Amino acid sequence: MNKHLINKYSLIILFLMSVVFCQSNDKSIENYKIALRMKLRMKSNPILYMDEPKSALLNKVYQSCNEYILLDEYGAKKVLKNKMTKITNDVKFFSKTKYDKPIRKKEPSNIRYHYFSLKSDID
Instruction: Please state, in angstroms and rounded to a whole number, the distance separating the CA atoms of residues 119 and 123.
Output: 7
Q: 25 φ, ψ to 5°? A: -100, 15
Q: Which of 24, 92, 33 is nearest to 65 (CA)?
A: 33
Alpha helices in 1-123 (DSSP H): 2-21, 28-43, 53-74, 77-96
Please give the pLDDT value at position 62: 84
pLDDT the model gives residue 9: 72
Cβ pair 68, 31 in contact under 8 A: yes
Q: What tens digit of pLDDT does each residue of 54-72 get?
A: 777 878 888 888 888 888 8
94 to 48, 61, 98: CA distances (angstroms): 12, 8, 9
Domain ranges of the chain: 25-96
**Structure pTM?**
0.53
What is the rounded CA–CA span in Å between residue 77 and residue 26? 11
Among 8, 14, 31, 41, which residue's Cα sits nearest to residue 88?
Answer: 31
Over the stretch 3-32, which tens digit does the pLDDT of each residue have? 666 777 777 776 666 666 666 556 667 777
pLDDT digits (tens, 9 = 90+) for 98-112: 777 677 888 777 666
Task: Give the span between the Cα atoms of 49 and 70, in whole angstroms.
Answer: 22
In this predicted structure, what is the pLDDT of residue 28? 66
For residue range 67-90, what is the model confidence (pLDDT) as tens digits? 888 888 887 777 887 888 888 888
